[in-house]
Amino acid sequence: MQSQSRQGAGGAAISGRETPDTLAPADQAKAGTPPTGEALCRACGGSGRDPERRPCENCGGTGKVTIGIGGA
């Protein structure tokens, strides 16, 4: 009787609650991955910090860098 549970008529806000088994914690990376591509900064290894504990200049301290796969 769960066929009627999909009452998402224009409800994009609940789109994440209807698929608990489909989206695993590890799969959320795919959902949030933009077309350009986001990868870990190689300079700091994703920590966002230099060996001297300073904000990484390559990624701005975020630990992530956006790369253009489209070949811009």
Binding site for Zn ion (CB under 5 A): 41, 43-44, 56, 58-59
Q: How far is the CB of 37 from Zn ion (least distance, A)?
A: 16
Q: How far is the CB of 54 from Zn ion (least distance, A)?
A: 10
- Specify the residue, 18 or 66, whose C-beta has the smaller distance to Zn ion: 66
Pairs from 66-72 (Cβ < 8 Å, separation ≥ 24): 66/34, 66/36, 66/37, 66/38, 67/36, 67/37, 67/38, 67/39, 68/36, 68/37, 69/35, 69/36, 69/37, 70/35, 70/36
- Specify the residue, 23 or 67, whose C-beta has the smaller distance to Zn ion: 67
Q: How far is the CB of 39 from Zn ion (least distance, A)?
A: 11
